[in-house]
Amino acid sequence: MWDPLRNSALIELVICLRDLLWKADHYGVRVAFTDDVMANAYVKDVTDAVTAVRDACCHIDSFKKLFDKSGNRGAFITVSKTRGMAAVTLGGVSLRNDYEDDTAFFFGPNRLYLRRHIVRAFGEARRNLGM
């Protein structure tokens, strides 16, 4: 079931997580795991992936929503196997969710898993910062 506040909640979550990850990086304890991160020219680890999604969420014309050079764009694309949708291909980019127990959010070619990225990055940043 679609919730009209889902996008707003995700935006708020990503903004706050980006801020926390910036602070961790600033204090020399960057959260840098790469498990299931879709690397590209500006994403090397989970901190970069969260930054890319934050930029795509908050900037209407962000290039980080682009799937290809033709201008195909996408944001707030949700892929969940539990809802019967395992993968979608847009602009040559395969938007896949490889896990039954997780939900993937795509903004252009940038993916964040709810549990494997968002929850884990929050926990690691909290531990790294001694909170």
Model confidence pLDDT, tens digit, residues 57-115: 888 888 888 777 777 788 888 887 765 555 677 777 778 888 889 999 999 889 999 99
For 44-129, strand residue ranges (E) read 77-79, 87-90, 93-96, 104-107, 110-113
Q: What is the distance between the alpha carbons of residues 85 and 44, in angstroms, rounded to a whole number?
A: 27
Q: Which of 90, 105, 129, 116 is nearest to 57 (CA)?
A: 105
Which alpha helices (DSSP H) does 1-131 contain, by range? 6-26, 46-58, 120-128
pLDDT for 86: 58
Residue 2, pLDDT above cutoff 70: no
Report the 10 Å Cβ neighbour count for 64.
Answer: 21
Whole-model pTM: value is: 0.88
Domain ranges of the chain: 6-128
